[in-house]
């Protein structure tokens, strides 16, 4: 028995209908673990934004979740187009979303700023043409 | 802890163990064990979905028997506006209310009247307080319970004000006391309820310690009693005072209709409510000011204890007053109501899904759960009596079920045994 719980999920390609499924599943699990609602909320919001990004900007990917009694760590990996200028992408209002995506209600350029706001630590690494890795950490302070 | 009262219960005799209900329950509160359905009490929100879906009518809502009203010296009917939508041909509301008096009540109070007042207070409250957006209506007790057990982060979004039923009970009781000189205990206030959730509410009120409603009679019950009486009423008493603003509360969209916010949405049907609350939790709908949420399709007119189809009833609500002459209301808004209808206590999160109170132990259980789940066929067939394979895995971890409850796992096990036996021979 380890004190670490590892979970793995795939995010199916550009299926917007499935958007939010992984964050919703993890949310349910965190509730089963008895994690405080406020922490669950922060993880869920950050994950939801990252999940949507990997669908609309990168055509899907996969997610690894690591849970301990101290923290929740989530890594989103995709093989999408990558982000050219990460510091630009972190800015509020910056978005490269297409008109079509905007019409669906995304593309306000608030996703990454929200991840930053709701997580304790956010790391994004990316290579153009190769893909993007987004790492989100939220601490559980009992 | 005292036992939580639920209106929704199972009639064991009638239950055939068919599993129709288990998937329709929004909180996965039902299991079929030993051929009979069983409701996990902590999880049930009294939404009534199982009452609607059971083909054998084995799920029922406990309301009071009509005779209970005669235990009181003075009997008050609190009439929900959804009651008016049960009748064909737009009868005069005065006739409906007079008929209610004829079958045994001494006084009728239209909940639509208190709803009008609650609308005013809600307007002021939202204006003066900075609640997280969207502000969520607390009028439907099933939705409030849902939030309490499944969306703890949204408790802060709820309007912390008494629902029209409770304000109505207070006003009606006060009035009856001053009119009759009786003591409050001698006055029985009965809500004419469209649903189980409100029946539960009077035992397990929200935001206050004790409800002033003494009992509830289902809309169906009263409808059947007054229908023949209505025909005989030639000269009704002029009892109707509530305007459309209050009456519209009976249908989805009616509550927000009275509020003059710009961006209101009204969601009805418990599954739609869940979808929207998920979005609210993800903070994707912050541009909405007010969210009206009703567990029943159509709003209260779609309550499980009503008579008329909810779509028909919803349209009737628009025409309720067409043949009614209103009298001036006895109850008008005054600013002291603002304080008077505030919740007196907070609503607390109930972590019903928690596997263990020690997170490390819960993690071990979850790991086990995932492992068991991996071995289940993922057909969510329901034959085991749980709503999904994952729910069965959860039940196993909690110690309420075993892997061989899954017929596929059982078959494998039997096959393996017979092969082993065959080998031995
Ligand atoms: N996984 C990803 N792959 C490639 N580009 C990405 C990825 N995630 C984000 N980006 C880039 O970063 C930009 C900013 O992302 P952010 O989530 O903040 O805004 P958005 O997705 O455009 O709009 P919103 O999240 O408000 O709907 C995106 O427009 C996109 O150019
Ligand atoms: S009333 Fe609703 S929550 Fe309760 S058991 Fe029935 S379907 Fe489930
Ligand atoms: S929508 Fe109305 S009738 Fe339905 S459960 Fe809620 S309060 Fe009861
Ligand atoms: Mg985004």
CB burial readout B368-395, b (16+ within 10 A) else e: ebbebbeebeeebebebbbbbbbbbbbb
Whether residues B7 and B92 share a domain: the answer is no
The pairing of beta strand B74-79 with beta strand B264-268:
unpaired
Q: Which residues of chain B neighbour A29 with C-beta distances below 8 Å?
A: 366
Region A135-142: mean pLDDT is 90
What is the distance in angstroms between the Cα of B281 and the nearest Cα belonging to chain A?
7
Q: What is the pLDDT of residues B135-165, one digit of tens each?
A: 999 999 999 999 999 999 999 999 999 999 9
Q: Provide the CATH number for the domain around residue B6.
A: 3.30.70.20
Tell me which of B257 and B80 has the higher pLDDT.
B80
Q: What is the pLDDT of residue B253?
A: 94
CB-CB: which of A27, A28, A69 is closest to B360? A69
H/E element, B293: strand B290-294
H/E element, B232: helix B219-232
Q: For an interface test with A, which of B283, B365, B369 has the most A Cβ atoms less than 10 Å from its Cβ?
A: B283
* CB of B140 shorter than 6 A to ligand 3: yes
Look up residue B146 and give its two tokens: 């849902």
Beta carbon pairs, A and B, within 8 Å:
61
Which segments of B42-93 are extended strands (E)? 59-61, 74-79
* CB of B142 shorter than 6 A to ligand 3: yes
Looking at the structure of chain B, the number of domains it has is 3
Q: Are B80 and B219 in contact (CB under 8 A)?
A: yes
Confidence of residue B299 (pLDDT cuts 50, 70, 90): very high
Looking at the structure of chain A, the number of domains it has is 1
pLDDT at B353 exceeding the cut of 60: yes
- Whether B101 is in a domain gets the answer yes
Whether residues B244 and B228 share a domain: the answer is yes
- Whether B314 is in a domain gets the answer yes
- Whether B349 is in a domain gets the answer no
Supply the DSSP symbol for B155: G
Q: Provide the CATH number for the domain around residue A86.
A: 3.30.565.10
* Spacing, Cα A53 to ligand 1 middle (Å): 5
CA angle B409–B415–B417, rounded 5-degree value = 105
Q: Give the ligand at the shortest distance from the Cα of A122.
A: 1
Q: What is the pLDDT of residue A94?
A: 93
Cα separation of A130 and A18, whole Å? 24
Query: Other C-beta atoms within 10 Å of B416: how many?
Result: 10
Tell me which of B96 and B412 has the higher pLDDT.
B96
Backbone angles phi, psi at A82, to 5 degrees: 80, 170
Cα separation of B192 and B83, whole Å? 8
Q: Give the ligand at the shortest distance from the Cα of A58.
A: 1
Q: Provide the CATH number for the domain around residue B412.
A: 1.10.15.40
Q: Does residue B370 sit at the A interface (CB-CB below 8 Å)?
A: yes
Residue whose Cα lies nearest atom 2 of ligand 2: it is B47
Q: Does residue B243 sit at the A interface (CB-CB below 8 Å)?
A: no
* CB of A91 shorter than 6 A to ligand 1: no
Q: Which residues of chain B neighbour A27 with C-beta distances below 8 Å?
A: 281
CB-CB: which of A23, A32, A140 is closest to B366? A32
Look up residue B140 and give its two tokens: 């439907």
End-to-end CA distance of chain B: 58
Whether residues B242 and B363 share a domain: the answer is no
Whether residues B90 and B230 share a domain: the answer is yes
- Where does residue A117 rank: exposed (0-12), middle (13-18), buried (19+ CB within 10 A)? middle
What is the distance in angstroms between the Cα of B279 and the nearest Cα belonging to chain A?
9
Q: Which residues of chain A neighbour B369 with C-beta distances below 8 Å?
A: 32
A5 with B363: Cβ contact below 8 A: yes
- Whether B350 is in a domain gets the answer no
* Spacing, Cα A52 to ligand 4 middle (Å): 6
Whether residues B377 and B293 share a domain: the answer is no
Q: What is the pLDDT of residue A104?
A: 82
- Whether B345 is in a domain gets the answer no
End position of a domain, from candidates B31, B62, B93: B62
- Whether B175 is in a domain gets the answer yes
Q: Which residues of chain B neighbour A20 with C-beta distances below 8 Å?
A: 278, 282
Mean pLDDT of chain B: 94
Q: What is the pLDDT of residue B425?
A: 55
Q: Are B83 and B219 in contact (CB under 8 A)?
A: yes
* CB of B304 shorter than 6 A to ligand 3: no
Region B194-217: mean pLDDT is 96
Instruction: Enter the ipTM.
Output: 0.87
pLDDT at B82 exceeding the cut of 60: yes
A69 with B370: Cβ contact below 8 A: no
Whether residues B363 and B298 share a domain: the answer is no
End position of a domain, from candidates B62, B81, B110: B62
pLDDT at B1 exceeding the cut of 50: no
Backbone angles phi, psi at B34, to 5 degrees: 50, 40
Whether residues B149 and B229 share a domain: the answer is yes
* Spacing, Cα A64 to ligand 1 middle (Å): 20
Q: Which domain holds residue A57?
A: 4-139
Q: For an interface test with B, which of A25, A32, A55 has the most B Cβ atoms less than 10 Å from its Cβ?
A: A32
Whether residues B33 and B74 share a domain: the answer is no
In A, minimum Cα distance to B283 occurs at A45
Whether residues B362 and B313 share a domain: the answer is no
Residue whose Cα lies nearest atom 8 of ligand 3: it is B195
pLDDT at B371 exceeding the cut of 50: yes
* Those residues with Cβ within 8 angstroms of residue B125's Cβ, 6 or more apart along the chain or in another chain: B159, B160, B161, B338
A69 with B152: Cβ contact below 8 A: no
Q: What is the pLDDT of residues B23-78, one digit of tens each?
A: 999 999 999 999 999 999 999 999 999 999 999 999 999 999 999 999 999 999 99
Q: Does residue A46 sit at the B interface (CB-CB below 8 Å)?
A: no
Q: What is the pLDDT of residues B304-343, one digit of tens each?
A: 999 999 999 999 999 999 999 999 988 999 999 999 999 9
In A, minimum Cα distance to B278 occurs at A24
Region B220-239: mean pLDDT is 96
Cα separation of B263 and B279, whole Å? 16
B153 with A67: Cβ contact below 8 A: no
Atom of ligand 2 nearest to the CA of B51: 6
What is the distance in angstroms between the Cα of B69 and the nearest Cα belonging to chain A?
43
Q: Which domain holds residue B221?
A: 66-340
B359 with A5: Cβ contact below 8 A: no
End position of a domain, from candidates B36, B62, B88: B62
Whether residues B245 and B199 share a domain: the answer is yes
* CB of B267 shorter than 6 A to ligand 3: no
């Amino acid at each position: 028995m380890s004190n670490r719980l590892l979970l793995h999920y795939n995010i199916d390609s550009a299926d917007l209908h499935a958007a939010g499924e992984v964050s919703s599943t993890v949310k349910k699990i965190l509730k089963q673990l008895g994690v405080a609602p406020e922490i669950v909320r922060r993880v869920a919001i950050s994950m939801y934004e990252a999940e949507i990004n990997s669908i609309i900007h990168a055509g899907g990917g996969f997610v690894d979740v690591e849970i301990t009694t101290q923290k929740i760590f989530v890594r989103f990996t995709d093989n999408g187009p990558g982000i050219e200028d990460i510091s630009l992408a972190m800015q509020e209002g910056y978005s490269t979303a297409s008109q079509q995506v905007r019409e669906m209600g995304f593309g306000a350029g608030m996703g990454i700023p929200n991840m930053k706001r709701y997580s304790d630590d956010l790391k994004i690494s990316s290579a153009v043409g190769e893909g993007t890795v987004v790492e989100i950490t939220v601490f559980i302070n009992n | 802890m005292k036992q939580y009262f639920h209106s929704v219960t199972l009639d064991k005799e009638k239950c055939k163990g068919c599993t129709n209900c288990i998937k329709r329950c929004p909180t996965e509160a039902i299991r079929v064990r030993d051929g009979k359905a069983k409701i996990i009490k902590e999880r049930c929100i009294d939404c009534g979905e199982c009452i609607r879906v059971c083909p054998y009518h084995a799920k029922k809502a406990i309301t009071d028997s009509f005779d209970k009203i005669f235990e009181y010296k003075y009997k008050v009917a609190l009439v929900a506006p959804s009651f008016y939508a049960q009748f064909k041909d737009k009868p005069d509301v005065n006739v409906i209310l007079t008929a209610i008096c004829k079958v045994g009540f001494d006084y009728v109070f239209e909940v639509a009247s208190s709803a009008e007042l609650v609308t005013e207070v809600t307007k002021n409250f939202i204006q003066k307080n900075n609640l997280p957006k969207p502000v969520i209506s607390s009028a439907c007790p099933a939705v409030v319970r849902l939030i309490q057990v499944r969306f703890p982060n949204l408790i802060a979004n709820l309007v912390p004000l008494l629902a029209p039923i409770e304000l109505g009970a207070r006003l009606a009781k006060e009035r009856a006391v001053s009119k009759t000189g009786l003591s409050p205990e001698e006055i029985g206030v009965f809500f004419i309820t469209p649903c189980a959730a409100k029946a539960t509410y009077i035992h397990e009120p929200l935001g206050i310690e004790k409800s002033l409603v003494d009992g509830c009679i289902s809309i169906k019950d009263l409808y059947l009693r007054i229908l023949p009486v209505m025909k005989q009423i030639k000269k009704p008493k002029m009892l109707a005072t509530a305007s459309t603003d209050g009456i519209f509360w009976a249908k989805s969209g009616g509550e927000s209709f009275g509020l003059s916010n710009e961006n209101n949405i009204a969601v009805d049907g418990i599954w739609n409510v869940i979808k929207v609350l998920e979005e609210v939790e993800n903070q994707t709908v912050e541009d909405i000011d007010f969210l009206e949420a009703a567990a029943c399709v159509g709003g209260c007119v779609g309550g499980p204890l009503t008579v008329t189809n909810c779509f028909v009833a919803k349209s009737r609500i628009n025409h309720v007053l067409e043949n009614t002459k209103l009298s001036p209301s006895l109850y008008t808004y005054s600013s002291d109501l603002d304080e008077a209808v505030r919740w007196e206590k907070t609503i607390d999160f109930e972590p019903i899904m928690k596997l263990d109170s020690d997170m490390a132990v819960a993690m071990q259980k979850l790991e086990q759960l995932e492992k068991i789940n991996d071995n289940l066929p993922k057909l969510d067939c329901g034959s085991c009596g749980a709503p999904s394979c994952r729910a069965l895995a959860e039940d196993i971890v909690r110690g309420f079920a075993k892997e061989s409850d899954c017929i596929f796992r059982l078959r494998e096990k039997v096959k393996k045994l017979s092969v082993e036996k065959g080998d031995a021979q």
